[in-house]
Structure 1
Amino acid sequence: MIIYLHGFCSSPASWKSRLLAEEMARRGLADHFVCPQLSPVPDEAVASVSRLIEQAGGPVTLVGSSLGGHYASHLAEKHGLNAVLINPAAVYRLDLADFAGEHANFHSGERFVFTAAHAVQLKAQVARPTPERYWLLLEEGDEVLDYRQAADFYAGCRQTVLPGGDHSFTQFPEFIPQIIEFAGL
Structure 2
Amino acid sequence: MLLYLHGFRSSPQSMKSRLVQSRMREWGLEKYFACPVLNVSPSQAIAQAEAAIRGARAGGEDEIAIVGSSLGGFYARWLAERHGCRAVLLNPAIHPWTDLEKYLGEQPLYHGGGSVTVKREHLQELLDLRVDTITRPERYYLLAATGDEVLDYREMVEACPGARIRVIEGSDHGISEFDDYVDDVLAFCGYTPDGRQRA
Q: TM-score with structure 2 length normalisation?
A: 0.89
- Which residue of 100, 110, 117 maps to 1:113? 117
CA shift for structure 1 position 132: 1.7
Greater Cα offset, 60-69 or 124-133: 124-133
CA shift for structure 1 position 171: 2.8
Distance change (3 Å), C-alpha of 1:172 and 1:133:
same
* Superposition map of 1:1-185 within 5 A: 1-57=1-57, 58=61, 59-91=63-95, 94-127=98-131, 128-130=133-135, 131-185=137-191
Q: How many residues were matched structurally?
A: 185
SS in 2 for 1:12: coil
SS in 1 for 2:72: helix
Q: TM-score with structure 1 length normalisation?
A: 0.96
Contact 1:64 1:72 in 2 (8 A): yes
CA shift for structure 1 position 135: 0.2
CA shift for structure 1 position 95: 4.0
Write the deviation string for residues 102-137 of structure 1: whole angstroms up to 9, x where unpaired. Answer: 111110222111111000000110112121210000
Match of 2:196 in 1: none
| Paired AA for residue 71 in structure 1 | Y
| Paired AA for residue 86 in structure 2 | N
CA shift for structure 1 position 38: 0.3
In structure 1, what is the Cα distance between the partners aligned to 2:122 and 2:112? 21
SS in 2 for 1:28: coil
| Paired AA for residue 81 in structure 2 | E
In structure 1, what is the Cα distance between the partners aligned to 2:9 and 2:96? 20
Distance change (3 Å), C-alpha of 1:169 and 1:184:
same
In structure 2, what is the Cα distance between the partners aligned to 1:92 and 1:25? 32
In structure 2, what is the Cα distance between the partners aligned to 1:34 and 1:60? 11
| Paired AA for residue 78 in structure 1 | R
C-alpha RMSD over aligned residues: 1.3
Distance change (3 Å), C-alpha of 1:19 and 1:76:
same
Please identify runs of 4+ aligned residues in structure 1 that moved more than 6 A.
Answer: none
Contact 2:9 2:110 in 1 (8 A): yes
% identical aligned pairs: 42
In structure 1, what is the Cα distance between the partners aligned to 2:47 and 2:88? 20
SS in 2 for 1:56: helix
| Paired AA for residue 182 in structure 1 | F
